[in-house]
Structure formats: structure tokens, C-alpha cells
Amino acid sequence: MPNVVDFRKLRADWLANGNFIARALQRQLRSSEALLIFQGFPRHWLPLFEWAGAPWKHSIEPLEYVPLFSGRTEDEVVSEIAKAREVGQLRLLAEVAASTEIILCETLQRIDGRVSSFPSPEAHTNLIRLTTWHSYNRPDVRAFDATLASFRQTRPGVLFIPCAKARPYHYSRSHRRLMRTAREAGLALDQLDTIVITSLGPVPQALWEHDIVRRYDTGVRDIYRLFVQLKQLLKGTSYAEAWDLMSFAPYSDIVRLCYLDGLLPYPQRLENIKRRNVPAYRASKGPSVDREFL
């Protein structure tokens, strides 16, 4: 019979930093058997327990107001969890819940830092919505960094271009238009490694059809994380020229910082590419429309 972790009897310091519960859920993620039963926890913890495969019972109303969970019965929250599981977005619901409460936020962060694989088959089939800081800490998203480590320079120059909603990127109409503009400006594209700068990370052309690249979508960007990824990608390269064809100003700033760090030659630009401080999305006219930011 699994031991019971009673919320009412849990030491305040064990709960406060999320470490105790994170370690318990980490062990549960690695086990096919129930190790502990979490009893009497506030209902916004239930998505995390369900995502981790941890049994629970007798949930309670949140002690303080929690958006989306306060005022809802246990049955209502369980129904919401079932809907999320059915469409393969239970992890997303756990992230939404974690964003409402500091201790829960810390707990999910610690779990993600300790596991290297995703506990649910949903990771291999559905859209990856990068909507919070937690999203970028998902094990399957972090694993993409290991894939980037395999990048090797293949051409004397490098070209940085913006990402697009259409995947793979070479299916994007704006991508093709941008490449046409570059060729007309005299760029020898066959002499340039093409790297798409995305919120997921820098994506070399060889990875444009990678599963994670094809399935992610986001409205939240971690600029510092991207800077670290790009620096790591460029280590060991010796490009003779670099071109920046991006219009999102923070992404261009990252490329210039890599130049200042000695990882790139000075990034050149085409005169007709304007800069924007926020991504510009085209209005959607239907699911088949190629919406992208430039």
C-alpha cells in the first residue's frame, strides 16, 4: 500500500521550495507502480499529479484565489483534466496550473530539471505550445539542444533568416520570397549555411524537418536562452561572411552580440529589410493560410 502525503500535515519548509514533492514526483515518473498518494492537496495541483501519474485523493478548494481552479468542484477539475488528456495537452494544463502559484511553479521547474524524457505519449503527436517559461523547460524541448550540438559548418558563409508558421520552412511563401530577394541582391546562397532563428532555438537547414521543429508554436520568446543556444551553435565555426535577413530586432541583436563575442564576422544586411521590435503576424483567413512573422 503506498504511503500517504497529507497536505495538512506536510512540513511548511518541505512544501515551500517544491523540492520534496518534486523528488517524489520524479520517482513516480520513473515507476509503473504507485509510490505515494497525495491527499488533501488544493485542486490546482491535480493536473501536475495526473501528468506525473501520481495518485491523489480528497482534493480541497485552493487556500487562496487561483484563477481557473477556485470555485470549481473536484469533479469539474477532473473533467477538465480528462479533456486535456483526450486531446494530448495534459502537459499544457499542468503548465497553466503551475503559472498560477509560486510553489507549484517551483515544483514543476525542479521536476523538469531532473527528468530527461517526456512521461506521456502525447509528446510525439501533438502541437507543442510554448506559452510560458515552463514550456521551454519541457524535457522534449530541452532535448533539442542536444540535437543542435551535432551542427557542423558546411559552407564558407552563414545566412540568418526569420522563422515562419509554415513548416518545414522551405514550404513558406515568405521564405521563398526572401530567398528570391537575396539572390537578386547578389548573395551566393549555395555558399551560405542557412540558419533559421526561432523561439525554439537556431535551426540549421538540416533540422528543418525535425519532429520538434515541425510541431512547436509560440507567442513567448526567451531571448537570453536563444543567445546562449546560438553562441553554442557557432563555437568551432569560422565563417568568412555573415548575413542577417531578419526583421525582428531582438533576433538581429543576438546575431550582433555573437559578432562582438568573436563568433561571427560583422553581420551584413540588405537595405530593404525593415526592423520590428515585435513579430508581425498576418491576419488568418483560414487554416490553410501561410501565416508567419518576418
Least reliable range by pLDDT among 63-67, 157-161, 269-273, 283-287: 283-287
**How many CA atoms are closer than 13 Å to the CA of 78, on its beta-carbon side?**
9
Q: Look up the pTM and report it.
A: 0.80
Q: Is the pLDDT of residue 276 over 70?
A: no
Is the four-CA dihedral 270, 274, 280, 284 of positive or negative sign?
negative
Q: For the domain made up of 146-268, give the CATH fold.
A: Rossmann fold (3.40.50)
Residue 107 has pLDDT above 70, yes or no: yes
Residues 48/104, Cβ–Cβ less than 8 Å: yes
First-to-last alpha carbon distance for the chain, in angstroms, is 57
Contact at 8 Å (CB) between 205 and 195? yes
Q: Which amino acid is at 137?
A: N
Place of cell 507549484: 104
Number of other CB atoms surrounding residue 61 within 10 Å: 15
pLDDT tens by residue, 192-212: 999 999 999 999 999 999 999
Contact between residue 50 and residue 84 where contact means Cβ atoms under 8 Å apart: no
- pLDDT category at 16 given cuts 50, 70, 90 is confident
Domain(s) of CATH 3.40.50.10630: residues in the chain? 146-268
Confidence of residue 279 (pLDDT cuts 50, 70, 90): low
